[in-house]
Every structure is written in structure tokens, then in C-alpha cells.
Amino acid sequence: MFQKYLTIAVAILLIPAFSSANENKNDHDHHEEQEQHTHSDKNIERIQVRASRLGRIVTESATRTEIINGEEIQEKALMRPGNISMLVAETGGVRVQTTSPALGSSNIRLQGLYGRYTQLLSDGLPLYGGQTASIGLMQIPPTDLANVEIIKGSASSLYGGSALGGVINLISRTPVNEYEGEVLVNVTSKNGQDITSYFASPLTSALSASITTGIHHQEEQDLDDDGWLDVAGYERTSVRPRFYWQNDKGANLYVTVGAMTEKRNGGTLDNAIMPNGSTYSQIQDTFRTDVGFIYDQSLAEMMNINVRGSAMNQDHEHEYGSVQEDDSHKSYLIESSLSGYSDKTAWLVGVALQSEKFDSGTFSEFNYAYQVPGLFSQLDYEASEDISMSFSVRTDWHSEYGTQVSPRFSLLYRPENWIVRGAYGQGFFAPSPFIEDIDEAGLSQLEALENINEERASTASIDIGYMFGSIESSITLFSSSIDNVTELTVIEGGNGISNKQVRIVNAVGESEISGAELLLRYRWQDIKFTGSYLYTDATKEDNPSFRRVPLTLTPQHSAGFVVMWEEHGSHLLGFEAYYTGTQYLEKNPYRQRSKPYWHLGLLGQITVGKISFFVNAENLLNVRQTKENPLVLPEQAPSGRWTTDIWSRNDGFTVNAGFRYQFNR
């Protein structure tokens, strides 16, 4: 009942604001460079947030948005130039979970919520799809990123049903007034190679452009000599040009086009066999293309209109042993919003049409095409110098799951050196066949989806931060309740109609997740220290016993410590240590709980002029799950999978080294 009244209250509060407020110069404009200068009296980095739609300075926004800045991105790019997994994995409250041990695909879990609820954006556009495929995270290089914005908790009021668990917005670099570029070359001790490049230049007084390219190779690796590949092999190439245009009348246009192709191989090595005596290769070929644009126009002194759109097509050819699957994923967005501001308020109202389509050439019973028109609005109100609020609400009319209302409320209180935030949000997620368990086995053993309800969640958090001089600290308390979670269940005794073994159903009862994040940062001269700790209590109702059991693959305790010594233009030396506690495991014949483990790493870089040489050592303790238990199951699971879940590292000790050459720097 409380949730119903909250939704009505938010809608009522927004109505007078839309009728009386003047317009806002839309700080969400892609082309307006973010402010990163130092505040005159508080020495606080002022970074403009775009994921919250109204573009507030991060320390002044009621919506808590965590920033991975350019300095951190440059460091992580040296550790893993081929994808962004390490970049986001080492952020507090964020866990990158491997969903397919054979292919190495992963998704991003925010504060324990399922990875399929995380919306991945590029400059505010869903270029990787409304429901990003798990393998997509491993196919995005960090080469051209300026920063990354993370909103944890339901953001459906801002971005629709795909953002039930939160948003990760990848912000690209904006070209400056002169030519610049860089080339990075990397090799690894596991016979992997990466070559990435970024070039940007003004073309005319009003037009500039950038282009990012990547070529990546990884040789297949069987580290424990059991015939099953522990590290999948792949060949990948990608290219992304971007264009930026603006005139002196307040108009801006941003256009991007991307293409990526990859061949990825996993499963058994050569003629190795599984326990049933057969080989089992797991192969995925991917070809993805996308296009997106953002047009922004000032209509008056304090009013702005924004139009944006994107289209994505991703074709897959899968091989799961003897089963071949071909499919296509398509995603479209067209959106328009009007925004404005006055002395105390900033507001936005908009309309959107999203479309998601899946077409399987092999199993047509899983095909779907969702059309989702929606209305959304946001109101930021500054009640006083220290108190501000943000209200947002979105109504979507889903072609399959009907009318969905998603509200969110955030409050900011910042006396002197303190920052206190509270947030509450609701959202929904439109189910599809692509839950985490399907990544490993495909659709061949899955019964067609029937009588499935949308997944819904309520999330809440309280964040208390303190900044003084070179010290930054914060504690976050969070809680989530998810209803109608979709999960895989075995069809007992068969259904008498087909040979399908498993089906997707809505779980009985709610999944409940709560916990706390602790963060401490300290900078002493050129040395930066960062410590973090995450406690998570995540349970679900077990069926048929109706008792609560822990969520699988969700460590109750995890922590990290990083020390980085950097003098720009000279050298960098870093050490990191991450602890992952025990995790509850399900359907694992070797153990019911995982072992805790440490991940240690060392990074060093020396810069001479325009060239930087780097060496990075990962997993210094050579942690590997197959040292504890086999990865391959004694017999094939009903879903078709042949492996247990990954609860630890699977790649062992690895060293990578290379150089980065920067032009006009």
C-alpha cells in the first residue's frame, strides 16, 4: 500500500512543476564538456553527471552517482585493454559474474541484484541493446572512455525496464581543439594480444570527429590439462567513429556508428571427451552493428529540447556440442524530452518508444517483439542551500506486460563536509529466455515461456559521506526486494509432449538483498590509498520447503585495498588486493559453499616523452578454481550444461606488458 501511495504522491508533486517552471539549459548535452576544475573553497572535483538526465554536479546531485574518472580508466586499461570487465569489477558494490565458464561471458551485478537488471549505456544510448547480452561486457574496450557513471538501485524511472538494478553509463572522450591520439599495444603470458587506437581531430570550425579501433586475440588455454578449455580463444575486431557538430545558435549533434565481429571458441580441446564419451565444443560467432544520435537545441534562455535515438543489430551463430543455434537480437530507441530550470527547480518531461526483438532461426517458439512506448519526467528541487530533492516517474505501456509505473525519489543533505543521501525506487523487468543459466547451454532443452509475469523490485539506500582535505569516506546501507524472479527449473518426469528438460518460471516468494558498503580514500602527495568493504545478506525463498536460503554466487563479505603512486608524465606504481568471501553454491556436486580467496596484482609504468611502457601482473597467488575441484560435471545437467558455476578465478597467474604511444600530448 505504501508503494501505491508513493507513486501517486510523486505524480502529484510533478504536475505543478511542469506547469510553472521555466526551462533548463540541458546539461545532459553530449557536447558540453564536463566540469573537472577545483572548487575554490572545498577542493572538491566537480564532475558533471549525465546518467541522472538533468546533468547535476556529482556532489550536488540528489541522485547518487558513482564516478570512475579518467585517471582510473587509464590505469585499468593497462591491466585489461580488451574489455571493461576489470574497470567496473573493482568498484565497490559491483561484481562481475561469469555466466559461461566455456566462453568467458560475464554480466554486472550491482549491490547483489541479478546482472540482467543492469542497463549498459554508451553516452546515454543503449548501443549494446536494451538487455545487453552477457558476452557484450567482454567485447567493449575502454580505449575511448572519459569516465564511467554508475547508478545503483532501480533506475527504471529514468531508463525503463532494463534498468531495474541500475545503470552503467560509459562516457566517451570529446575531441579537443587540436589533433590527438594514442595507440596501445599489449601482450599477455597466456598468449593474448591487443592493439587499440583512438584518434580525434577538429574537421571544421563546427565539426569534429574521433575514431576508436581494436584488434584482439586470445589463444585457447587448458590450464589443468583435463581437456576442457579454462580460457576461451577468440579473434575480435571493432571500429567506432563519432562525429560532433555544433553551431552558434545553441544546436549540437552527436552521431556514432559501431561495428564489431568476434569468433569465440570454448568447450573441449581438440579430441578430448566429456564423461559421456563425446566431445563438446562451445562456439559463438558474433557480428554487431549499431548507430546512435543525440540532437540538442536551446529554445530559449532557460529551455532546451533533446532528441535521441539508437538502433542495434546483433547476429549470433552458436554451437553447443552437436546443437547449432542461429539468432538475431534487435533493439531500437527514439526519445524526445523538454527540460528547463528556474532559481530553485530543474525539470524534464519526455516521451520514448523502445523496441526489443529476438528472432531465432532454430527455435522460433522463443521469438518475441516488444514495443514499449513511455512517458517520463524528472523534477529536481533545491529546498535550501544544504537540502535538495529529485523526483522522477515513468509510465511504460509494454506490449506484453501492460502498464508499468516506475517512481524514484532521492534526497540530498550536505552540511559543511558531510554528504547524506537517501533514495527509494521501484521498477520492472520484462522477462526473456536469456537468464544467466541459459548462457552455458542455449535453448535446446528449454520449454517455451508460458504464463510468466514481469519481474518487479523495490530498492532503497542511505548514503553518508564525509570529505575533509585529502580524506574521503562513505558508508552506504542498501536494501532490495525482488518479486517474480525468473529462474530455471527441471521438468520432473518430462512433459509427455516434447523432450524438453527445463523451463523458466517465476520464483515463489521474494528475493531479499540488503547490506552495507564502506569506502575510504586518502591522498598523500602523489600516493593514493583506497580501501573498501562490502557486506551482503541475500536470500530467496526455497521451493518447495518455503524456507529462506542464501542467493547463489553472492559472497557475504568482500573487500579491497589499492595503493597507487603516480607522477603524471613520469611513472606509475600500483598494488591491489581484493578479498572474496565464501559463496553459497547450487547444484554443484563437489561442494555446497565456495572457499574464500585473494586476488593480488602489481602494475608499473614508466613514461618517456610520448611513450609509456607498462608491466602488469595479475593473480599473484595463482588462484584457480580447478585447483580445488573440477570444473566439468560428472554428467550433463538437464539444461544441457557441462560445467559448474564459476565462483573463483579461472585464469591463474597472468602477466601482461606493452606500450602506449600518445600523439600531440
Confidence of residue 90 (pLDDT cuts 50, 70, 90): confident
Q: Write down the pLDDT at residue 48.
A: 53
pLDDT of residue 28: 35
- Segment 401-411, tens digit of pLDDT: 999 999 999 99
pLDDT-derived band at 51 (thresholds 50, 70, 90) equals low
Cα–Cα distances in angstroms (integers) from residue 302 to residues 27, 52, 250, 339, 343, in the given order = 11, 19, 12, 8, 11
**pLDDT recorded at residue 133:** 66
Could you tell me which residues are beta bridge partners of residue 512?
Answer: 481, 539
Of residues 136, 135, 239, 236, the one with CA closest to residue 194: 236
Chain-wide mean pLDDT for the chain? 88
Q: State the Cα–Cα distance between residues 38 and 30, nearest whole angstrom.
A: 22
* Category of 619 on φ-ψ map: left (φ > 0), alpha (ψ -120 to 50) or beta: left
d(CA 374, CA 391): 17
Write out pLDDT tens, residues 576-633.
Answer: 999 999 999 998 999 999 999 999 999 999 999 999 999 999 999 999 999 999 999 9
User: How sure is the predictor about 342, in pLDDT bands with cuts at 50, 70 and 90?
Assistant: confident
User: So what's the pLDDT on residue 40?
Assistant: 35
* Burial status of residue 313 (CB atoms within 10 A of its CB: 0-12, 13-18, 19 or more): middle
Cell of residue 481, nine digits? 526486494
Phi/psi at 483 (5° precision): -110, 150
Rounded average pLDDT over 226-252: 94
Q: What torsion do the CA atoms of 52, 55, 56, 62 make, to the nearest 10 degrees?
A: -20
pLDDT at 55: 62
For the residues of 505-540, what is the DSSP string, one character each? EEPSSEEEEEEEEEEEEEEETTEEEEEEEEEEEEEE
Distance CA 223, CA 552 (A): 26
* Mean pLDDT score, 644-656: 94
Residue found by looking up cell 562481475 in the block: 96
How many other C-beta atoms can be found within 10 angstroms of the C-beta atom of residue 396? 23
Beta bridge partners of 360: 327
Q: Residue 665 pLDDT more than 80?
A: no
565 vs 111: CA distance, rounded Å? 29
pLDDT of 436 reads 83
Q: What is the DSSP letter of 137?
A: G
The answer to whether 232 and 217 are in contact (CB under 8 A) is no
Strand partners, 151: 167
How far apart, in Å, do the first and last CA atoms of the chain sit? Answer: 59
Characterize the bridge pairing of strands 251-267 and 281-300: antiparallel
User: Is the separation of the CB atoms in 488 and 502 below 8 Å?
Assistant: yes
Strand 166-172 and strand 118-122: the pairing is parallel
**Residue 90 Cα to chain centre, angstroms:** 12
What pLDDT, in 10s, does the model give residues 102-160? Answer: 898 888 899 999 989 999 999 999 999 877 667 777 788 999 999 999 999 999 998 99
Identify the helix (H) or strand (E) that includes residue 292. Answer: strand 281-300
Which value, to the nearest 10 degrees, does the dihedral of the CA atoms of residues 564, 567, 573, 575 take? Answer: 0
Q: What are the two backbone dihedrals, phi and then psi, of residue 643, each rounded to the nearest 5 degrees?
A: -130, 160
**Residue whose C-alpha cell reads 568482500 in the numeric block:** 558
Question: Which grid coordinates are listed for 331?
Answer: 533493439
**φ, ψ for residue 413 (rounded to 5)?**
-130, 120
Residue 23 confidence (pLDDT): 34
Residue 383 makes CB contacts below 8 A (sequence gap 6+) with: 344, 389
What are the C-alpha distances in Å from 250 to residues 166, 171, 294, 350? 32, 22, 14, 20
Asked whether the predicted pLDDT for residue 550 surpasses 50, the reply is yes
Q: What is the DSSP letter of 34?
A: P
Mean pLDDT of 558-581: 94
The total number of residues shown for the chain amounts to 665
Tell me the pLDDT tens digit for each residue of 161-206: 999 999 999 999 999 999 999 999 999 999 999 999 999 999 999 9
DSSP 525-581: TTEEEEEEEEEEEEEEE-TTT--EEEPBT--SEEEEEEEEEEETTTEEEEEEEEEE-
Q: How many angstroms separate the CA atoms of 234 and 211, rounded?
A: 23
Q: What is the pLDDT of residue 36?
A: 38
Q: Which of 53-57, 79-83, 244-248, 563-567 has the lowest mean pLDDT?
A: 53-57
Show me where the domains of the chain are located: 2-663
- Decide if 399 contacts 389 (C-beta within 8 A): no
Q: How confident is the model at residue 58 (pLDDT cuts 50, 70, 90)?
A: low
pLDDT at position 354 over 80: yes
Give the whole-angstrom CA distance, residue 630 versus residue 589: 10
Q: What is the pLDDT of residues 504-539, one digit of tens each?
A: 999 988 999 999 999 999 999 999 999 999 999 999
Rounded Cα distance between 15 and 240, Å, is 41
pLDDT > 90? residue 438? no
Q: Is residue 4 over pLDDT 90?
A: no
d(CA 162, CA 146): 24
Q: What is the pLDDT of residue 485?
A: 95
Question: Cell numbers 551482503 correspond to what residue?
Answer: 536
Dihedral Cα 440, 443, 446, 452, nearest 10 deg: 100
How far is the C-alpha of 100 from the C-alpha of 319, rounded, in Å?
A: 13
Asked if residues 657 and 255 have their Cβ atoms less than 8 Å apart, the reply is no
* Neighbouring C-beta atoms of residue 414, cutoff 10 Å: 18
Q: What is the pLDDT of residue 585?
A: 95
Q: What is the pLDDT of residues 466-508, one digit of tens each?
A: 998 899 999 999 999 999 999 999 987 654 456 788 999 999 8
Give which of 151, 192, 122, 129 is closest to 52, Cα–Cα. Answer: 151
CATH number for the domain running over 2-663: 2.40.170.20
User: Peptide bond before 596: cis, by omega within 30 degrees of 0?
Assistant: no
Contact 91, 68 (CB under 8 A): yes
C-beta separation of 362 from 327 below 8 A? yes
Region 304-309: what's the mean pLDDT? Answer: 95
Measured between alpha carbons, how far is 16 from 225 in angstroms, rounded to an integer? Answer: 68
